[in-house]
């Protein structure tokens, strides 16, 4: 059995054992696929991890950068207490429309706001509007912009805010200082900025599973 097959089988086992059937989320993935969106949503057990992290954090205000079809957004929003809110940023209007329908079907439209446009434009607007501080920030969009997103995440945070960055392994290339891949360079700079930022305590963890070899970073704003 290949590594990939074994990872998938274990993920299937974990998901079928620990996660109840979820027709709304399953339909969200099917509709995203039917609309031609890339299969880049987090895996179900990773979605549940995000949900648990938001609950551990007691977060009421969540910011997501990179909505796609709203799959992770639904997991995040379901973790919120009454009155909680997710703002999710998406550049692609087709993705945003698929997400809007998925979120409506999940009966979460009252607690999720999708902002359509480049996150580099939406983030300063959020700050100008006084939309922050956010308690939990999930960065999952174009990786070359990760350093910029970290800067804005800090501006939109408070002491105690958790910042999660997805897809930080880049098939192992993240460890290559000579990589010319803009995604790898973006993630490396993102991690280096986190390390150099005295306000942050950060780590990163590799994962294997149905999405292959991947990983995420987790940071807490200290002051």
Q: How many residues does the chain have?
A: 223
Indicate whether 141 belongs to the interface with ligand SAM (CB under 6 A): yes
Structure tokens of 188? 């490396």
Judged by CB under 6 A, which stretch of 13-21, 136-144, 184-192, 210-218 contacts ligand SAM? 136-144
Using the structure block, give the residue that is written with the tokens 């950068």: 65
Least Å distance between CB 118 and ligand SAM?
A: 4
Q: Per 3-state DSSP, what percentage of the chain is helix, strand, and coil (rounded to 5)?
A: 50, 20, 30
By DSSP bridging, strand 212-221 and strand 162-166 are antiparallel
Structure tokens of 132? 């922050």
Within 58-87, which residues bind ligand SAM (CB under 6 A)? Answer: 66-68, 71-72
Least Å distance between CB 214 and ligand SAM?
A: 11
Count of residues near ligand SAM by CB under 6 A: 19
Q: Which of 15, 25, 42, 174 binds ligand SAM (CB under 6 A)?
A: 42
Sign of CA dihedral 70, 74, 77, 82: positive
Q: Which residues form the interface with ligand SAM (CB under 6 A)?
A: 40-42, 66-68, 71-72, 89-92, 95, 118-119, 140-142, 145
């Amino acid at each position: 059995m290949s590594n990939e097959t074994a990872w998938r089988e274990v993920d299937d086992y974990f998901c079928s054992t620990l996660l109840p059937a979820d027709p709304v989320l399953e339909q969200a993935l099917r509709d995203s696929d039917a609309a031609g969106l890339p299969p880049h949503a987090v895996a179900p057990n990773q979605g549940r991890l995000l949900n648990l992290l938001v609950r551990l954090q007691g977060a009421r205000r969540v910011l997501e950068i990179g909505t796609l079809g709203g799959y992770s957004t639904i997991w995040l929003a379901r973790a919120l207490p009454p009155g909680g809110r997710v703002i999710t940023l998406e550049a692609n209007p087709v993705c945003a429309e698929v997400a809007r329908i998925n979120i409506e079907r999940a009966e979460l439209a009252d607690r999720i706001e999708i902002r359509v446009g480049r996150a580099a434009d939406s983030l300063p607007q959020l700050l100008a509007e006084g939309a922050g501080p956010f308690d939990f920030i999930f960065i999952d969009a174009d990786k070359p912009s990760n350093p910029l997103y970290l800067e804005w995440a800090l501006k939109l945070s408070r002491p105690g805010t958790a910042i999660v960055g997805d897809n930080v392994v880049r098939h192992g290339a993240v460890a290559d200082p000579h990589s010319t891949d803009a995604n790898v360079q973006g993630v490396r700079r993102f991690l280096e900025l986190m390390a150099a930022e005295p306000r942050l305590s950060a780590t990163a963890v590799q994962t294997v599973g149905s999405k292959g070899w991947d990983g995420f970073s987790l940071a807490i704003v200290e002051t």
